[in-house]
Amino acid sequence: MRKQRKQYALLTGICVIGLGVLLAGKFVTDQQRKSRNQQRTVAGEEQSKNTGQNKADEADRNKDPEQAKKGATIQDNDPELAKKGETNGKNPEQQEIAETDSGSSSEQRETWINASGNTLETRILPPEGFVRPSADADSLTSFLRTYPMKKDGSAVKLYNGKKKGRQDVHAAIFKLPLEKEDLQQCADSVMRVYAEYYWHTGRKDQIAFHFVDGFLAEYRKWQQGYRIQIGESRSSWVKSASPDSSYTCFQKYLRIVFSYASTLSMEKESKRIQTKELKPGDIFIRGGSPGHVVMVVDMCEHSDGRKAFLLGQGYMPAQEFHVLKNPAHGENPWYYLDEVEYPFDTPEYTFEEGSLRRTKY
């Protein structure tokens, strides 16, 4: 009996030891399986990263280095192309367009320029909800609206054919004649607009401008063969040529005017007006040596009474007459009447209160 108990105890111990060995083996197996799974996960993540990097590297290798360089610098180096990039797809019906940048949501923007338009009114579109009021066919407003413009994106040229230093201030360029000398600057450009307007509408007798010394240079007298003798204190007329009504003779007259008239004389032959009186042909001016002047070249209005206007300028050195951008509104060239306050900023000049005037031309 005692022997049987010993045998039973021995068998029990063997069973306990066996069970312990089995449990230990299972634990080790579970740990090994877990370790292998973790290794697979890490390996998978590394492979995914490597695959993504490989694709990116492949995309970089497929890029044209010159195109990549252009894409990075085109807007920094060429404001005109930058403008085109910002106003992609010009719509003459003044619709808003969506521009989508990589990694950002689309943004609604308004189109201001119709690249195919070849006159002021067809090139620069009014803001949404605004319309250009009707104008008489023989008015200065109509003359300016239908005036031919240079191709969209053109550079402003100087009198000598070289490009103006700043090409980021204009929205469009008039095909207004420009003399070959450094004469047709800011005030001269305004006088040129008025002179061309009266010439082409058959009102040549109204072409007359004061010199700085007060002398009134009338084209009517010049056309009759009179020429201007510049005196020490005051100029005078001298009959020294045959009558000539050609455009070439008209240009010679203008070159004399541009030589002896300026913002000083223009300011004297103009009067102050209120903002609410503004119309095309009015000017913002500071008479001086040098001074500056810009001209209202068009207007539009909203049904709620709001008004907006465009400004044109020539500058120094003598250069092509161009429509200015509005520095307060980026690519939008329109200035809003209810936003006019002084100092009044334009891209290249700031005007003080009292500078808004109307010429007597």
pLDDT at 296 over 50: yes
Are 125 and 26 in the same domain? no
Residue 115 placed within a domain: no
Report the 10 Å Cβ neighbour count for 116.
Answer: 11
Task: Mark out the alpha helices in the chain (DSSP H runs).
Answer: 2-62, 65-77, 79-86, 120-123, 140-145, 186-200, 219-223, 247-260, 263-268
Provide the pLDDT confidence category of residue 215 given band limits of 50, 70 and 90. very high
pLDDT at 193 over 60: yes
Rounded mean pLDDT of 76-102? 35
The string over 319-344, giving b where at least 16 C-beta atoms fall within 10 Å of a residue's C-beta and e elsewhere, is bbbbbbbbeeeebbbbbbeeeeeeeb
pLDDT at 88 over 90: no
Are 58 and 97 in the same domain? no
Q: Omega into 343 within 30° of 0, i.e. cis? A: yes
Are 165 and 295 in the same domain? yes
Q: What is the pLDDT of residue 233?
A: 86
Classify 98 as helix, strand or coil. Answer: strand
Rounded mean pLDDT of 21-37? 43
Q: Give the integer Cα–Cα distance in Å for 355 and 360.
A: 15
Greatest C-alpha distance within the chain? 162
Residue 127 placed within a domain: yes
Q: Give the integer Cα–Cα distance in Å for 193 and 223.
A: 19
Range from 47-61, 260-274, 278-292 carrying the lowest mean pLDDT: 47-61
Rounded mean pLDDT of 93-116? 50
Residues, the chain: 361
Are 17 and 79 in the same domain? no
Are 125 and 174 in the same domain? yes
Tally of structural domains, the chain: 3
Are 87 and 163 in the same domain? no
Phi and psi at 191, nearest 5°, equal -65, -35
318 and 156 in contact (C-beta within 8 Å)? Answer: no
Residue 52 placed within a domain: yes
Tokens found for residue 95: 């619709």
Rounded mean pLDDT of 124-146? 97
Residue 153 placed within a domain: yes
355 and 291 in contact (C-beta within 8 Å)? Answer: no
Provide the pLDDT confidence category of residue 15 given band limits of 50, 70 and 90. very low
Per-residue three-class SS string for 282-327: CEEEECCCCCEEEEEEEEEEECCCCEEEEEEECCCCCECCEEECCC
Classify 99 as helix, strand or coil. Answer: strand
Provide the pLDDT confidence category of residue 111 given band limits of 50, 70 and 90. confident
DSSP state of 269: T
Range from 105-114, 138-147, 176-185 carrying the lowest mean pLDDT: 105-114
What residue type is 17 in one-letter code?
Answer: I
Are 306 and 337 in the same domain? yes
Q: Give the integer Cα–Cα distance in Å for 255 and 184.
A: 8
pTM (global) more than 0.75 = no
Are 46 and 76 in the same domain? no
Are 124 and 81 in the same domain? no
Are 237 and 263 in the same domain? yes
pLDDT at 241 over 70: yes
159 and 318 in contact (C-beta within 8 Å)? Answer: yes
Q: What is the pLDDT of residue 33?
A: 45
Are 80 and 30 in the same domain? no
Q: Give the integer Cα–Cα distance in Å for 193 and 191.
A: 5
Report the 10 Å Cβ neighbour count for 240.
Answer: 10
Provide the pLDDT confidence category of residue 110 given band limits of 50, 70 and 90. low
116 and 144 in contact (C-beta within 8 Å)? Answer: no
Instruction: For residue 320, give the nearest of 169, 128, 184 by alpha carbon.
Output: 184
Q: What is the pLDDT of residue 96?
A: 35
Classify 359 as helix, strand or coil. Answer: strand
In the Cβ-directed half-sphere of 112, how many Cα atoms lie within 13 Å?
A: 20
Are 239 and 343 in the same domain? yes
Range from 68-72, 125-129, 221-225, 263-267 carrying the lowest mean pLDDT: 68-72
pLDDT at 46 over 50: no
- Answer positive or negative: Cα dihedral of 274, 280, 286, 288: negative
Rounded mean pLDDT of 120-135? 97
Q: What is the pLDDT of residue 150?
A: 98
Owning domain of residue 38: 1-62
